[in-house]
Structures are given as C-alpha cells and as structure tokens.
Amino acid sequence: VLEMRTLLEPLGAARAAQRRTEAHLKVLRGLVRLGQERARKGHSEDLRSLGGWFHETLAQACGSPSLTAVLTQLRHKIAWMYAVEPPVSPVECWAEHGAIVDAVARGDGERARALTALHAERATGAHRLRFSVAGERVRTSQHAVNMSGLRH
C-alpha cells in the first residue's frame, strides 16, 4: 500500500501542475503557510490534520476524479493499517509541501512529480504496522479466495 502511494501521489502532483485551479492553489498555499507557522512554533498537534488536508487538496487538484478517489482510499487504508511517527523535522516537511505547491503553481509537472516522490519516500520510513493487543499484526478485511472451483 505504501509503495502504491509512492507511485500514485507523484502522478497526481504532476497532473495537478497541469490541471489545478486558482482555488486549489489558494487552499494549498494557505495550508502551507499555516503548516509552516505551526511547525516553527512547535504546535505539532495540528500538523497531522493539516497534512491530510494538504494531500487531499493536492489529489483533488489533479483533475481526475478516479485518481483522486484512489489516492483518498490509499490514505484511509494507510491510516487504518499504520501508525505514523511525527516527522523528525516538521519544518522541513512543510518546506517540502511548499516546494511542491511552487512547482504545481508554475505548471512544472516533472518537478512536482520528483518533489512529491521524494516527499512520499521520506514519509514511508515513519510508518509502522499497527499491532493488536495480542501482538498480532493487523489483518486485512480481505478473505482468502477459494480458487479450487474455478475452471479455466
């Protein structure tokens, strides 16, 4: 799931650079300003929510309802499956968000893709699978499929 995120978020950012609206840019810039301010002041309690809104808005800016839906589903599944450690440097994390928005605003899809890939890759290291009380890993809701009855 994390690998899918590292592949699809950069695609969404590249598309956002070509398809975003001024409203998307206004929201993204506002979130970055707020996130950077909160990170500088050490108000980390709001940063996770702000980061979620940032990534949701960036996904919406890609102009593809299908890709937006997949990215949203991935974020929800990741939140369910993984505990996420706060970034070592929230200021640096929000600087990365700002650089992504700058690339999107300039219409530079390749730079937006590269910056988002780097950002997603860095964030992946902060994810740890959740464990149940009994110490077992979280199971997915998917059940094994009985393939023996299939005919080819």
pLDDT digits (tens, 9 = 90+) for 67-89: 999 999 999 999 999 998 888 89
Domains of the chain: 2-129 (1.20.120.530)
Q: Please, are residues 59 and 67 in contact by the beta-carbon 8 Å criterion?
A: yes
Q: What is the pLDDT of residues 38-47, one digit of tens each?
A: 999 988 888 9
pLDDT at residue 88, as a whole number: 83
Q: What is the pLDDT of residues 102-145, one digit of tens each?
A: 999 999 999 999 999 999 999 998 889 986 555 555 444 444 44
E strand or H helix that includes residue 128? strand 127-129
Q: Please, are residues 13 and 108 in contact by the beta-carbon 8 Å criterion?
A: no
Whether 31 shows a pLDDT value over 60: the answer reads yes
Handedness of CA 46, 50, 53, 59 (dihedral sign): negative
Q: What is the pTM of this model?
A: 0.84
Q: Residue 126 burial (CB < 10 Å; 0-12/13-18/19+)?
A: middle
Q: Which residue has the higher pLDDT, 98 or 84?
A: 98
Type of residue numbered 128: R
Distance CA(84)–CA(28), nearest Å, equals: 22
pLDDT at residue 32, as a whole number: 98
